[in-house]
Amino acid sequence: MNISFPILDVTEYYLPLDDLSKVFGNGKRTALEIGFGEGDFLIGMAKRKIDWNFVGIEIKGKRFKKAVKRAEREKANNVKLLLMDARIAIEEVFSQDTFSEIYINFPDPWPKDRHKKHRIINPKFLYGLSCIMKPLAALEIASDHEEYISHILKVFENMETFRSEFHSPGYVNSLPDRPMTKYEMEFREDGREIYYLRFINQKNQNL
């Protein structure tokens, strides 16, 4: 196995992956980004936090390939990229209590009523995330879409597993020390407000 190769080829392992140290060759804490696009945020984070490992999942092949090239170019040895539907990956690929942080940056908002069923942030998906997160791990979400953000906050309100780190209204409009994503740069140039949410996984906390 070539440890520095950035593609996570799940056919090389028994699934679910019970131990990411087999993938990275070390036992460092691991963060996950879902829908990493061209990898700006993921690779930026990996270069800043070299004492962490980073796994990214992206469903679109073109974006995935761009990120692979970038990870290779930038010699980001603590990054593994998975080309897959994240909804399947959280059910099939990763074991319980795997990730210490999860990021979802600018998930597709599917604004039309008839398309809202495609929104990735829904109770079933969040339940799956809480399973693969470690207790007290954080889930961070960024979006420019006010209506989607309100919807997401309502979904979380009905889930006991997660506690918001931010007081009412449940979001902040800036978070320091985050690499900007491609979408974030475009939205900021357009003068759009960005909303950041952060939730802590309360599982096994005997609330």
Ligand X SMILES: C[S@@+](CC[C@H](N)C(=O)[O-])C[C@H]1O[C@@H](n2cnc3c(N)ncnc32)[C@H](O)[C@@H]1O
Q: Active-site residues: which are they?
A: 108
Sign of CA pseudo-dihedral 159, 165, 170, 172: negative
The label of the residue with tokens 């209506």 reads: 147
Q: How far is the CB of 27 from ligand X (least distance, A)?
A: 26
Of the pair 163, 180, the CB lying nearest ligand X is at 180
Q: How many CB atoms sit inside 10 A of residue 89's CB?
A: 23
Residue 17 or 142: which CB sits closer to ligand X? 142
| Residue that has been written with the tokens 């009412």 in this structure | 168
Least Cβ distance, residue 59 to ligand X (angstroms): 4
CB-nearer residue toward ligand X: 117 or 167? 117
Evaluate the omega torsion of the peptide bond into residue 16 and state whether it is cis, within 30 degrees of 0: yes
Task: Please report how close the Cβ of residue 85 comes to ligand X at its closest, in angstroms.
Answer: 4
User: Which residues contribute to the site for ligand X (CB under 6 A)?
Assistant: 34-37, 57-60, 63, 85-87, 105-108, 120, 181-184
CA–CA–CA angle 188, 184, 50 (5° rounding) = 130
DSSP 157-174: HT-TTEEESS-TTS-BS-
175: closest CA among 138, 147, 148?
Answer: 138
CB of 111 to ligand X, least distance (A): 12
Beta bridge partners of 30: 53
In this complex, which beta carbon is closest to ligand X, that of residue 49 or of residue 179? Answer: 179
